[in-house]
Amino acid sequence: MEFEPHPQATAVLDEFKKLNDVLENALKQKGTGSFSAKDQTETVEVVINGDMVVTELHIEDGLLRLGAETVQNRINEALITAQAQAAASIDEIAGATFEAMAGMIDSMQKIVGE
């Protein structure tokens, strides 16, 4: 005797699989993101990943002669810009993920309500 799953249960499980795919995709997008920014004078460039960790830092030759405070300010300027880009991207990913999840929950409610 073969077991036949209930059609509603099958449909809900399919929606959960879609939900899992959406969440995995969001994590992948966040994890593979790379954001680069320069200071206003374009003497410092910072690259961060989707977790907002600095992965690269480029300082133009000769800039260190201007002193540690100047270099620090320029690094911070570039870093703030890169972080803003990353945050905007993460917000966009989160918004798209939320919309997809809301659609799937609506779909599941319709399936269960049948």
Q: What is the pLDDT of residues 96-108, one digit of tens each?
A: 889 988 988 888 8
- Provide the terminal-to-terminal Cα distance of the chain, rounded to the nearest Å: 27
pLDDT tens-digit series, residues 66-96 = 999 999 999 999 999 999 999 999 899 889 8
Please tell me which residue, 38 or 114, carries the higher pLDDT value. Answer: 38
Question: HSE of 111 in the Cβ direction (CA atoms, 13 Å)?
Answer: 17
- Assign 23 a pLDDT band (cuts: 50, 70, 90): confident
Q: What is the pLDDT of residue 108?
A: 82
Q: What percent of the chain has pLDDT over 70?
A: 98
* Beta-bridge partner residues of 36: 47
Cα–Cα distance between 105 and 98 in angstroms, integer? 10
Is a pLDDT exceeding 70 seen at residue 114? no
